[in-house]
Amino acid sequence: MKKILVLGGTGFVGRHVCEKLTQLQWRVTVPTRQVASARGIQMLPSLDVFETNVHDEAALTQLVAGHDAVVNLIAILHGHPQAFDKAHVELPKKLARACAATGVSRVIHVSALGADARNPDVAPSMYLRSKGHGEVALHQAPLALTIFRPSVIFGAEDKFLNVFASLQKMFPVIPLAGSHALFQPVWVEDVARAIAHCLQDAHTHASSGQTFEACGPDVFTLRQLVELAGQLSGVNEGRGRPVFPLPAALGRLQARLMELAPGEPLMSRDNMDSMRLPNIASGNLPGLSALGITPSALAGIAAGYLGPVSGGWGLRSNLTARRKTAGRS
């Protein structure tokens, strides 16, 4: 039985990855700072949860030992330069050293569309620059490495379309910064299937050394995605709310005000900087089809969990929708 260590296994993508790996009857280890955050996966068979701090290099090295492969999903969307460096650069460096110390070579790393390992400092945002430097750190290590660069990831528990739909339930109009930014959203189940596929290939490492762009079949502007979320969720009798694009300066002011609000911001100025790059496939790297996966269209999947019949948003209210869509994987 293979043993896989999943860093970030309690997160949105991580929960789907863990489900896929346990379906293969592999042993899965998920570290977390608080066991309570693993409630969504603890019932999965052959999965072990450990309460620890993966940023502690000694603890990380102990975790890596004895595993056949490591999947790194840890990422943040908001923060200051030191926070991005800790999550996206220092952790991959620690992981590379832990793998070298324990003899574990197989690593699957989820980066981001727009990251550039060849010249990471040219990226327009702290998020993308740190993602690029994280790729560099792993490429410099003697690893059988596979990197995924996804566009924005959607699914029943996402904090993307669900947020847009919720905002339209609360407000009569939606002022929107970065409305013309381009995205190629990818279904979380397709990303999880791709990761599992590459791990099944561990004997030949046919996918090691590869970087894959994980994108869906359709390109949308941010405005189109916001409008679609309102329509699919039945807001305003299926018409959604009016969306008003904001000029760049006013959009940055809106993002700055969101940063000052308590909790995680809906949008930050660094998010806006990231959106200066189209979040779509470059065409220069293989996509999901190279792994035998036909990417799922957003509208059909999102209708299953945003629709008025779902009774709300989030994981608990969408278990039925998720079971229906899981059958397509």
Domain boundaries, the chain: 3-154+185-215+280-295
The whole-model pTM stands at 0.91
Q: Which two tokens stand for residue 141?
A: 């290590």
Task: From first to last of the 329 residues of the chain, give the pLDDT tens digit.
Answer: 899 999 999 999 999 999 999 999 999 999 999 999 999 999 999 999 999 999 999 999 999 999 999 999 999 999 999 999 999 999 999 999 999 999 999 999 999 999 999 999 999 999 999 999 999 999 999 999 999 999 999 999 999 999 999 999 999 999 999 999 999 999 999 999 999 999 996 444 567 789 999 999 999 999 999 999 999 999 999 999 999 999 999 999 999 999 998 888 889 999 999 999 999 999 999 999 999 999 999 999 999 999 875 543 333 333 334 344 444 43
Q: Look at residue 320 in the predicted model and tell me its pLDDT.
A: 39
Widest distance between CA atoms in the chain: 59
* Partners of residue 5 on adjacent β-strands: 29, 70
In this prediction, residue 232 carries a pLDDT of 95
Residue with tokens 């999943």: 6
The answer to whether 285 and 211 are in contact (CB under 8 A) is yes
Write out the E strands in 33-181: 47-51, 69-72, 106-110, 144-150, 153-154, 174-176
Q: Which helix (H) or strand (E) holds 57?
A: helix 57-64
Measuring CA to CA, which residue among 198, 188, 216 is closest to residue 71?
A: 198
Which secondary-structure segment (H or E) carries 321?
A: helix 319-326
Say how far apart CA 326 and CA 328 lie, in whole Å: 5
Three-class SS state of 2: coil
Contact 109, 252 (CB under 8 A): no
For residue 205, the model assigns a pLDDT of: 55
Residues 20 and 196: beta-carbon distance below 8 Å: yes
pLDDT reported for residue 314:
36
Q: Say what the pLDDT of residue 206 is.
A: 61
> What is the CA angle 176-318-309, rounded to 5?
80
Tokens 């998920």 belong to: 30
Q: Which two tokens stand for residue 188?
A: 């979380």
* Cβ atoms within 10 Å, residue 253: 14
- Predicted local confidence at residue 272, as pLDDT: 96
Q: Given this model, what pLDDT does residue 309 score?
A: 53
DSSP 196-257: HHHHHTTTTTTTTT-EEEE--S--EEHHHHHHHHHHHTTTTTTT---EEEPPHHHHHHHHHH
Question: CA-to-CA distance for 243 and 83, rounded, in angstroms?
Answer: 32
The domain over range 3-154+185-215+280-295 is classified in CATH as 3.40.50.720:
yes
What is the distance, to the nearest Å, from the Cα of residue 253 to the centroid of all Cα atoms in its chain? 27
CB 179 within 8 A of CB 245: yes
Q: What is the pLDDT of residue 325?
A: 41
